[in-house]
Each structure stands twice: as C-alpha cells, then as structure tokens.
C-alpha cells in the first residue's frame, strides 16, 4: 500500500494537481485522497481504481509463481466491472 500511495502522490504532483483537484476528478473527498496518499490500508479498491484512472495510471499484477505467468490487468475494464456490481 505504501508503494501505491507513493505512486499516487508522485503522479498527482507531477501533473500539478492539488489533492482537492484529484479528489474532484476521482469523485471522492479530499480527506479520502489524503488517506490514500498516507497508505491507509482499508481504502476501498473501487475508489483506489477511480483515483488511479483519473491520474492516467495503470495497474499490473505480476506473479512470481511458475504456475501463473505474469499478466496485465486493464484498469478501465476492472473499474467498469466494479461499477456494474454496485
């Protein structure tokens, strides 16, 4: 979670966005962004995906197991699936 938090904070700053601006883009409150950037371990995955999408970041899950080769996850598809289930 710390690595994810650092990536979000770094990309937000690189884009010149305030926490409030990112919150507005992601449809969450500024306090939620603050928690995410601090590495809050209980942050809801759907909201994390929305924040990542609003920054243009992608997620890649890799397995070190020989049974499961590395794969890519389409963030937009994952977010759409999450929103449909709600």
H helices present in the chain, as ranges? 2-14, 19-26, 30-37, 45-55, 75-85
Q: Which tens digit of pLDDT belongs to each residue from 14-33?
A: 999 999 999 999 999 999 99
pLDDT one-digit tens code per residue, 29-80: 999 999 999 998 888 888 998 999 999 988 776 666 665 555 555 656 656 6
- Contact between 33 and 19 under an 8 Å Cβ cutoff? The reply is yes
pTM here is: 0.66
Contact present, 61 and 71 (Cβ < 8 Å) = yes
Q: List the domains of the chain with CATH numbers.
A: 2-85 (1.10.260.40)
């Amino acid at each position: 979670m710390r690595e994810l938090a650092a990536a979000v904070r770094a990309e937000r700053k690189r884009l010149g966005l305030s926490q409030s601006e990112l919150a507005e883009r992601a449809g969450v409150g500024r306090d939620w962004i603050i928690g995410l950037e601090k590495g809050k371990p209980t942050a809801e995955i759907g909201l994390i995906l929305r924040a990542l999408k609003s920054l243009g970041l992608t997620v890649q899950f890799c397995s070190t197991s020989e049974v499961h080769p590395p794969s890519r996850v389409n963030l937009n598809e994952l977010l759409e699936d999450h929103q449909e289930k709600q």
